[in-house]
Amino acid sequence: MTTAVESKLARAAALFHALSDETRLEIMEMLRGGERCVCELTDELEAAQSRLSFHLRVLKEAGLVTDRKEGRWSYYAIVPEALAGLHDVSVSLQPTTQRRELRKMGRCC
């Protein structure tokens, strides 16, 4: 749960933690194109169901994804706002001398 008094740094650390695992990054990669049900994820990632469920919960608690139930399926999807927040954090970490360099190098979005 995200408390109101959570510091910026704590929020950033939580975001980074959620993304610090290869399996979870693969999930995010799959969700980039739109929502998927868990069964699709387990199929494509060759991962045990309970393992996937664990990682999906981590991503969900970090606010990076949401889930939606329909019939017997659960669909997970990226929360675009959270990804925008990640981008903000990665920008705010840039050294002061480097910010406008990124734009010059055409490395920006």
Partner DNA sequence: ACTACCCATCAACGAAATTTGATCATAGGT
Partner DNA sequence: ACCTATGATCAAATTTCGTTGATGGGTAGT
Hey, which residues does 67 pair with through a beta bridge?
A: 76
| CA–CA distance, 87 with 82 (Å, rounded to integer) | 9
Asked if residue 92 binds DNA (CB under 7 A), the reply is: no
Asked if residue 57 binds a copy of itself (CB under 8 A), the reply is: no
Among 73, 87, 88, 99, binds DNA (CB under 7 A): 73
CA distances from 36 to 66, 76, 101 (A): 11, 6, 37
Among 6, 10, 48, 101, binds DNA (CB under 7 A): 48
Mask: binding to a copy of itself, 59-78, rule CB under 8 A, as x and -? -------------------x
Among 43, 57, 61, 98, binds a copy of itself (CB under 8 A): 98
Asked if residue 55 binds DNA (CB under 7 A), the reply is: yes
Among 12, 38, 45, 47, binds a copy of itself (CB under 8 A): 12
Hey, which residues does 70 pair with through a beta bridge?
A: 73
